[in-house]
Structure 1
Amino acid sequence: MHAMNTAPRSEVDAADVNQSVPQIQFSSVTKMYGSVPAVRDLSLTVRRGEFLTILGPSGSGKTTTLMLLAGFEAPSSGDIMIAGHSVASVPSYRRDQGIVFQSYALFPHLTVARNLEFPLEMRGMAPDQRKVRVARMLERVHLGEFGGRMPSQLSGGQQQRVALARALIADPPFLLLDEPLGALDRNLREQMQIEMKSLHKEFGITTVCVTHDQEEALTLSDRIVVMRAGRVEQIDTPEALYDRPTSCFVAKFLGEANILEDALLLARVDNAPQIGTFAMIRPERISVLPKTAEWAQTDQRQYVAGAVDDMIFAGPLRKYHVRVGNNVLIVREHVAADQPVFQPGEEVCLTWLRSDIRFVSP
């Protein structure tokens, strides 16, 4: 266990974080529950100072991966390295890490200040140093006046801040987040996403987060791992994953996607599709025009005629379902003044840049 320092990590070495140095490594890790593999041959590197999110549906293996990293589960085969040392057989209580659970797991019988002080006390920090660190951390998470309250006297967002503060206060080398914002309503989730991003930037701590919330993953992450059936489907930056998914699964799981199966929709695309792939385009890359608009196929743009099946108003967005031949395409546009609104049954024209087409595997 490393020696404690009374200054936050951001004041000690955040500026010296080397993004290229691996801090966590999974090497061919498999976890079996009986005859069922929850994680299959997982190899993954987490860079020092990185915010990496593991994203996937229920049963994809994302939570099991986090439990393996936390030491709550042991791999059936393979190895897990932290800072170059194997921890595959090291129990959780011997790993120096911060953890935030979806339920927050605050001690209900301790005040907010005592919740934050407890991990410092367990590490042998002197009482006067503990008080200084707790006061500083409470101010950092905007709870300076709440140290004497019990967890039950706090809102969900305030409890989340306490849980994050408690995980960070002992200056761990890495932080694990298990569906950290899942218990909050939408507005609070958005506020906490901003707060978590700010905390990560300030402390520079390596963070591994598990979530099923695509928006949360896109907002917070330096890189995202998309898992499916215990395996890594794709790993990349949020921008690259969204714009250049490699499979139908990733394209549809990370946002909405139109899979273009009708040859009519693929006339003169920029790049011929590889055998065994499907053409895909994001809904916001398609524009909807009146049927009477003048248009003609060009080298840059594709135009097709269709009819509106449905129109959905969602505040700042308007979504259309447009039938083109045997396909129903989703179109998503931002609501603007003097914008034409098309009703179900109305004939329209759809257009998109040919360069916006992507090809994905099944």
Structure 2
Amino acid sequence: MKNKPIPAQIEFRDVTKIYGQVAAVRNLSLTVGRGEFLTILGPSGCGKTTTLMLLAGFEAPNRGDILIAGKSVAAVPSYRRDQGIIFQSYALFPHLTVRRNLEFPLEMRGMRAAERAKRVDRILERVHLDDFGGRLPSQLSGGQQQRVALARALIADPPILLLDEPLGALDRNLREQMQGEIKGLHKEFGITTVCVTHDQEEALTLSDRIIVMRAGRIEQTDTPEALYDRPATRFVASFLGEANILENPGFNVETDAAQPSGTVAMLRPERIWVAAPAAPKRADANNRQSVSGTVDDMIYAGPLRKYHVRVGSSLLVVREPVASGQQIFRPGDEVRLDWLRSDLRFVTV
């Protein structure tokens, strides 16, 4: 029995936004389901931030319509849209304490003081800042300020949460920690969330679904796993993680099925096995292609090693998890690479 479809919470219908002679967003149509965590991913200038600003009401479309809960909001100003928004800069009031920052949106809604205090207490406890209500933002760390910004966006129970590069100002460890916080809060509150980022790992970690944009249009949309494992285009394959594009590689690429016209073979670096030339073949060798190459470079990156291996006219990237007792190859070493033919993907050029 198939799952029932999630009812639409947000819809873009053929939306175009033009700045001067440049179309930042072109004929954009998408649907975000109720309770879904959708991430819009893409390089600078692809239109992802403009899309978020259109949804937030800070920009108006030149053509098309935007609907929330079935009602058009294209002409509705931002302050009349019931949304929580978190910017990369957090946008906390520097002269107000944490508690007053959190009370402010409730006060603007006319909530009584006693109820405001209860809500603030609850949200401070949820984001692990119970003892920080009397501090100013300048007295908090970056991660603590991010938690306050999350709390302020959630405290009024908005049906939609918008995130604009929310973790861009944090270091790696804090980013990973806050990814867990955001994911947990989304699961707990069930708020329809739209996030804009250029960080591929962040998008893969947080999202129910990812949209990859390019030049104002949607290049591909799918679940994180499907998007990474089955990219439709060369652009998506190369933008979302690393990809070996086997175009005129200097060796014959073996496939289990005929390669569709207009496509090129692609192989993810972690799908390649590296070994010494004389190492025993794997049990499934009949399903694999094997090639010989020379290590051009080895990069140690903590949990993994990355090899650049010269094979024919190509420089293939190989990633393997670091494990005790494994053989380590150095530049100039001869190696054997092999991979399952079924791990090849064909992407349009």
CA contact (8 A) 2:85 2:162 kept: yes
Query: Residues of 1 paired with 2:138 and 2:331: CA distance?
Result: 50
TM-score, structure 2 as length reference: 0.97
Q: Which residue of the other structure, out of 72, 85, 100, is the alignment partner of 2:71?
A: 85
Q: State the Cα distance separating 1:298 from its structure 2 match.
A: 5.1
Query: Residues of 1 paired with 2:242 and 2:273: CA distance?
Result: 15
- The match for 2:346 is 359
For the structure 1 residues 182 and 19, does the alpha-carbon distance in structure 2 shift closer, same or farther, using more than 3 Å as the test?
A: farther
Query: Residues of 2 paired with 1:313 and 1:181: CA distance?
Result: 26
CA contact (8 A) 1:287 1:350 kept: yes
SS class of match (2:131)? coil
Query: Residues of 2 paired with 1:82 and 1:242: CA distance?
Result: 29
CA contact (8 A) 1:112 1:150 kept: yes
Alignment of 1:129-148 (within 5 A): 129-148=115-134
- The match for 1:4 is none
Query: Residues of 2 paired with 1:268 and 1:253: CA distance?
Result: 25
> Which deviates further from its counterpart, 261-270 or 335-344?
261-270
Q: State the Cα distance separating 1:149 from its structure 2 match.
A: 0.6
Q: State the Cα distance separating 1:262 from its structure 2 match.
A: 3.5
Query: Residues of 1 paired with 2:216 and 2:229: CA distance?
Result: 24
Query: Residues of 2 paired with 1:165 and 1:270: CA distance?
Result: 52
SS class of match (2:310)? strand
Q: Which residue of the other structure, out of 310, 329, 335, is the alignment partner of 1:348?
A: 335
Q: Which residue of the other structure, out of 176, 179, 196, is the alignment partner of 1:190?
A: 176
Q: State the Cα distance separating 1:231 from its structure 2 match.
A: 0.4
Q: State the Cα distance separating 1:267 from its structure 2 match.
A: 4.0
Which stretches in structure 1 are left out of the alignment for 5+ residues?
A: 1-17
User: How many residue pairs were aligned?
Assistant: 345
Q: Which residue of the other structure, out of 298, 303, 308, is the alignment partner of 1:311?
A: 298
Q: State the Cα distance separating 1:266 from its structure 2 match.
A: 4.6
CA deviations 1:151-180 (Å, max 9, x no partner) are 111000000000000000001010000000
- The match for 2:42 is 56
SS class of match (2:12)? strand
1:320 is matched by which residue type in structure 2? Y
- The match for 1:334 is 321
Query: Residues of 2 paired with 1:192 and 1:265: CA distance?
Result: 45
Q: Which residue of the other structure, out of 229, 248, 263, is the alignment partner of 2:234?
A: 248
Q: State the Cα distance separating 1:290 from its structure 2 match.
A: 0.3
2:198 is matched by which residue type in structure 1? H
Q: Which residue of the other structure, out of 264, 287, 300, is the alignment partner of 1:300?
A: 287
Q: State the Cα distance separating 1:315 from its structure 2 match.
A: 0.9
Q: CA RMSD in A?
A: 1.3
Alignment of 1:129-168 (within 5 A): 129-168=115-154
Q: Which residue of the other structure, out of 100, 103, 125, is the alignment partner of 1:117?
A: 103
Query: Residues of 1 paired with 2:288 and 2:5: CA distance?
Result: 40
Q: State the Cα distance separating 1:338 from its structure 2 match.
A: 1.0
For the structure 1 residues 124 and 70, does the alpha-carbon distance in structure 2 shift closer, same or farther, using more than 3 Å as the test?
A: same
SS class of match (2:324)? coil
Q: Which residue of the other structure, out of 289, 295, 301, is the alignment partner of 2:275?
A: 289
1:351 is matched by which residue type in structure 2? D
SS class of match (1:209)? strand
- The match for 1:65 is 51
- The match for 2:265 is 279
Q: State the Cα distance separating 1:261 from its structure 2 match.
A: 1.9
